[in-house]
Structure 1
Amino acid sequence: MLAELSIKNFAIIEKLSISFDKGLTVLTGETGAGKSIIIDAIHLLVGGRGSSEFVRHGEEKAEIEGLFQIDDLQHPVYAKALEFGIDIEEGMVILRRDISRTGKSVCRINGKLVTISTLREIGAVLVDIHGQHEHQELMDETKHLPLLDQFGGEEITSSLEVYQELFRKYEQTRQKLKALSENDQQMAHRLDLILFQFNEIQKANLKLDEDEELMSEKRKLVNFEKLFEAFQLSYSALNGEQKGLDWLGMAMGHLENAASLDSTYKDLYEAVSNCYYQLEDAGRAIRNEMEVLEFDPERLNEIEDRLNEINQLKRKYGKTIHEILEYAAKIEEEIETLQNKETFIGELEKELSSIEKDLALEAKQLTELRQKWARKLTELIHKELKDLYMEKTIFEIRFETDLHHFSKTGSDYVEFYISTNPGEPLKPLSKVASGGELSRIMLALKSIFSKHQGVTSIIFDEVDTGVSGRVAQAIAEKIYKVANNSQVLCISHLPQVAAMADNHLFISKNIKDGRTTTSVRKLQEDEKIKEIGRMISGAEITDLTRQHASELLQLAVKYKKT
């Protein structure tokens, strides 16, 4: 859930810090107090489009920061964070966005700088915002099929995964066949090119790690004089009268005498003795290196020429010898394919035909599952709409299925249709629903989908506009129902919704030093009655209004218990 929200120098908000709790939080207040500005801030925090206009007048930048507490380790935000290399510790995700007066945004997630697109992807699994005119999932018919698949859960997901694995194989085979079926002139040019490349690599007779071995040999030749001098001086320091081994031999002799007098010194004698013989071996090795070390300018030229040849191939075919050889193996396979094109085309056509048959069977099974879940979803939506006093509304999920046409999602095109008035034909949802109807349809769907979506916080920004009476009460109950599965923040002008709140925040506008500021206060029980009374009657609150407000709160408590 969204646990903390901090806003600074954003629109009319100078500085604001809000703590949120689980369940349903309702934000109320006079028009223009800044309720929607708080939602705008959250929208920007999760990747919404920013603008310098959001920066408070006279300030350099606006700052928005939100703390999300994620207790479920299976929440999709963990997979998203892993994808972008972001660490989540103790279930805390902190989003931060700064917008400068020039319009530039700086985004951070758990302290790590990220792009706006990354912020948007992470934000999408944390917050779902719905405003009066923001019903994208409902209005966009391309989202209807994913919503249905989401509702179908594991059964559709499993079937879709099997289909998509086969579809990937189908697309790969189709692309290979398409490439081979291109005009002969292009194929001939391609064959000439890769034959030349293959022969050039083969002629070079490359060996793995050859370049590293050559570089090592080159360093020895280039530094011949320094190496010889180092060996000569080190050998001279060890061997000869009054040199290292001579002195060490004397020490070994004296310790041998000591050990013969007292056996406790035997280990000390053996330690020095071992060092003597090791250094003696090292001295012989140094002498051998001096004897074989020689400067060969012709060999150095050979190495330079070979390294130059290898570097030329690296520029063309890969950064390492391993990559060059891999490329050669790849084009060798392509050469064989192009030289035997007709045979390969025949084999690919047979393979594609076989895959198409299997794909059609998987697509058919996927369609049947979707139709089964579509019937269940339709039944549930009708029930939810009936609760919202839209019992005359007919909802239908229409399928257009072509089992000879395959896409990544199957062979189905799905769209939600609706008729809100008896006798009227079913039409696409986006073309017939009024604002109030759309709000109720959206709530009906959210009541169903909130269990499946896994979104941490759902925000409703005045989605209850244009309704009243028993419909308002039904909407309040539905919003509360959604809050059972996800934290809900709701801006509302309906007293019924405010009465249903687990937490009621009052937003007010004040004048401070000649500037407008916004403040937030959590209401206690008596303050709730006063605010709900104001929402019922306006400015003047009578005893009857208070009684009505108190009754609404009592009814809400009773509803929650049941």
Structure 2
Amino acid sequence: MLYSLHVKNLALIKEQEIEFSKGLNILTGETGAGKSVIIGSVNLALGGKTDAGLIRTGEESALVELIFGELNDQQKKFIKDMDIDLDEDGTVIIQRKIMPGRSVSKICGETVSARQLKDIASILINIHGQNDHQELLHKKKHMEILDDYCMNELKTPLQELSLRYEEMRSLEKELEDMSMDESSRLREQELLEFEVNEINDANVVLGEDEELESRYHKMVNSRKISEAAYAASAMTSGNDGEDSASDLIGRAVRELSSVSGYDSDIEDLLSQLSDIENLLTDFNHSLSDYVSDLEFDDEDFRNTEDRLNTLNHLKDKYGGSLEKVLEYLEEKSSRLEALSDLDAVRDKLTKSLNDKKKEVLLLCKKISDIRKKGAKSLQDKLTEALIDLNFLDVRFEIEIKSDEDKISSKGYDDAQFMISTNPGEAMRPLDQIASGGELSRIMLALKTVVADKDDISTLIFDEIDAGISGRTAWKVSQKLGELSKDHQIICITHLPQIAAMSDTHFMIEKGLDDGRTVTSISKLDADASTSELARLLGGEEITDAVIQNALEMRKLAEETKRG
């Protein structure tokens, strides 16, 4: 559940913290007081789009922090799999700092990407606003809702279908590539033969280009290398007749040898110097051999250069490396072999494709059967929930149409919600009948029906009361109370019937602080909550009769919750 929301320097909020409770949390306030900012701040913390204009005027940044606790095992595992450690008390702290041009998000102190933030948000909380209600008008959403409802049975066959469908599409692509007339086949075959022969004639050996590059570089710079080597030889071996390192060390050895008998320490020094003389002799022999190897003729140079050019040409043309060249050779050789016996290859591909399509269709049929069974269950439960929400004569059906010519990785079904809200009216698509208020009730009914299947315990409803009033509002209030028994509900409302059902009631107000407008949020006690209900009931003038009405509404709500 969501323990708390902390907001600082966001829009009209200077700094506020709300500690939510279990059950039904209601937020009320005058129009324009900033209720939308509260829900907006939660969205921002969970990865919503930022805007520098949201930062409070005169401040450098804004901060939103959410603290979640009492996570279930699935939520804990999801977070652990993301290599994020929960706090010692088992809570998850999500922070988002918003600055001009950028934002920084952290979960339990670890900086995370926008993708990670949204992934974690998706398992912790569901936010439902009027945009979500409008999504019910799109058929695509209907299939998503049905599949979510049936996911326990659908998960494995859908995963298998996705794999088989991709295999089928791959075979279709291969067969399509083989669909050509004779002249096209001959043209492609001729090009492939040229490319395959070009690579085969080069006798490519992996690593050869690197060895040739090194040898070529050495050849190109052989003059400079030779001059340096000869100079080093002259300095160390004494071949030029001048004093060299070898001559000087030899003389030093002789000098120490002449006195080594007088002191044992001299013998140790003489031994070290003799080792140096031997090392220098070995070095001179190695240097001499190296200089000898530097000698090469013009033909050797040209052959090395030509071979290197050949390999570089193949790399430029077929992939950038000899490994890629050989992969290209293997691929094109297979293609050439297929073109050489095109009819046989086509026949084989066609048979494989037909077999794969049968597998796909069988999976589609299995998935469709699961959906149709689930649709019957879902539509019955939804009808019952809608009747509870004052759709007294409602008929609701989930229409599923299957088309084997419209296969996708999700199957071949098309789902659509059909409804009739009045006796005698024919069933019609949801988007042709439902009003805004009806859509909000249908969404609430859906959430009530799927609550037992939903692992997310915190639900936010923004403007769930759009377009409703009177008895219908009371029915919606009862349904929210029912849903809040097993879920934490946070709901913004304008209706006293819904506010009366609250377990915790918050008031959002707009006022002045040091001459500036600020939005503040306060938790109401029972008397203050009654006064706010009276305001919602009575408008500008709060009479004793309105207060009494508010008290009766609170009493009725308490009795309903106990029932």
TM over 0.5: yes
**Residue type at the aligned position of 2:153:** E
Q: Equivalences for 1:19-418 in 2 at 5 Å?
A: 19-21=18-20, 23=22, 24-43=24-43, 63=62, 65-67=64-66, 69=68, 71=71, 74-75=74-75, 88-90=84-86, 91-97=92-98, 106-110=102-106, 128-132=126-130, 134-224=132-222, 229=228, 233=232, 240=246, 243=249, 285=286, 288-294=289-295, 298-403=299-404, 405-418=406-419
Q: Are the counterparts in 1 of residues 481 and 501 from structure 2 also a CA contact under 8 Å?
A: yes
- The one-character-per-residue Cα deviations of 1:503-537 (angstroms, maximum 9, x if unpaired) are 43211122456654322223334322322232232
Give, in angstroms, the shift of residue 48 of structure 1.
5.8
Q: Distance in 1 between matches of 2:372 and 2:186?
A: 50
Q: Distance in 2 between matches of 1:395 and 1:271?
A: 102
Q: Distance in 2 between matches of 1:370 and 1:483?
A: 29
Q: Are the counterparts in 1 of residues 389 and 472 from structure 2 also a CA contact under 8 Å?
A: yes
Q: Distance in 1 between matches of 2:128 and 2:203?
A: 65
Compared CA separation, residues 453 and 282, structure 1 to 2 (3 A): farther
**Residue type at the aligned position of 1:32:** G
Q: Distance in 2 between matches of 1:272 and 1:19?
A: 83
Matched residue pairs, number? 541
Q: Are the counterparts in 2 of residues 232 and 290 from structure 1 also a CA contact under 8 Å?
A: no
Q: What residue number does 2:241 align with?
A: none
- The one-character-per-residue Cα deviations of 1:383-416 (angstroms, maximum 9, x if unpaired) are 3223223242111111111245422211211111
Q: Are the counterparts in 2 of residues 144 and 415 from structure 1 also a CA contact under 8 Å?
A: yes
Report the secondary structure of 1:139's partner residue.
Answer: coil
**Residue type at the aligned position of 2:102:** V
**Residue type at the aligned position of 1:218:** Y
- The one-character-per-residue Cα deviations of 1:350-385 (angstroms, maximum 9, x if unpaired) are 112222222222211111111111122122212322
Give, in angstroms, the shift of residue 483 of structure 1.
4.6
Structure 2: 5+ residue stretches without partners: 87-91, 238-244
Q: What residue number does 1:262 align with?
A: none
Q: Distance in 2 between matches of 1:310 and 1:245?
A: 54
Q: Distance in 2 between matches of 1:279 and 1:473?
A: 102
Q: Distance in 2 between matches of 1:291 and 1:125?
A: 73
Aligned Cα root-mean-square deviation (Å):
4.4
Give, in angstroms, the shift of residue 227 of structure 1.
5.1
Compared CA separation, residues 410 and 207, structure 1 to 2 (3 A): same
Compared CA separation, residues 281 and 92, structure 1 to 2 (3 A): farther
Q: Equivalences for 1:440-455 in 2 at 5 Å?
A: 440-452=441-453
Q: What residue number does 2:430 align with?
A: 429
Q: Distance in 1 between matches of 2:136 and 2:307?
A: 66
Q: Distance in 1 between matches of 2:465 and 2:366?
A: 40
**Residue type at the aligned position of 2:418:** Y
> Which sits farther off after the overlay, 474-483 or 221-230?
221-230
> Which sits farther off after the overlay, 120-129 or 405-414?
120-129
Give, in angstroms, the shift of residue 282 of structure 1.
6.7
Q: Distance in 1 between matches of 2:536 and 2:191?
A: 78
Report the secondary structure of 1:465's partner residue.
Answer: coil
Q: What residue number does 1:490 align with?
A: 491
Q: Distance in 2 between matches of 1:315 and 1:157?
A: 46
Report the secondary structure of 2:246's partner residue.
Answer: coil
Q: TM-score, normalised by structure 1?
A: 0.80
Q: Are the counterparts in 1 of residues 398 and 415 from structure 2 also a CA contact under 8 Å?
A: yes
Q: Are the counterparts in 2 of residues 64 and 96 from structure 1 also a CA contact under 8 Å?
A: yes
Q: Distance in 2 between matches of 1:293 and 1:482?
A: 88
Q: Distance in 2 between matches of 1:333 and 1:55?
A: 60
Give, in angstroms, the shift of residue 449 of structure 1.
3.1
Q: Distance in 2 between matches of 1:513 and 1:502?
A: 34
Compared CA separation, residues 455 and 230, structure 1 to 2 (3 A): farther
State which structure, 1 or 2, has the greater radius of gyration over its C-alpha atoms. Answer: 2
Q: What residue number does 2:14 align with?
A: 15
> Which sits farther off after the overlay, 27-36 or 122-131?
122-131
Give, in angstroms, the shift of residue 124 of structure 1.
6.0
Q: Distance in 2 between matches of 1:109 and 1:58?
A: 22
Q: Are the counterparts in 2 of residues 76 and 454 from structure 1 also a CA contact under 8 Å?
A: no
> Which sits farther off after the overlay, 199-208 or 451-460?
451-460
Q: Distance in 2 between matches of 1:500 and 1:442?
A: 19
Give, in angstroms, the shift of residue 472 of structure 1.
2.4
Q: Distance in 1 between matches of 2:80 and 2:456?
A: 13
Give, in angstroms, the shift of residue 274 of structure 1.
10
Q: Are the counterparts in 2 of residues 150 and 453 from structure 1 also a CA contact under 8 Å?
A: no
Give, in angstroms, the shift of residue 140 of structure 1.
0.9
Report the secondary structure of 1:459's partner residue.
Answer: strand
**Residue type at the aligned position of 1:240:** S
Structure 1: 5+ residue stretches without partners: 260-264
Q: Distance in 1 between matches of 2:277 and 2:331?
A: 57
Give, in angstroms, the shift of residue 338 of structure 1.
2.0
Q: Are the counterparts in 2 of residues 505 and 521 from structure 1 also a CA contact under 8 Å?
A: yes
Compared CA separation, residues 527 and 311, structure 1 to 2 (3 A): farther
Taking only the aligned residue pairs, the percentage that are identical comes to 34
- The one-character-per-residue Cα deviations of 1:65-112 (angstroms, maximum 9, x if unpaired) are 454648457449959996xxxx745344444555x6xxxx63544386
Compared CA separation, residues 160 and 521, structure 1 to 2 (3 A): same
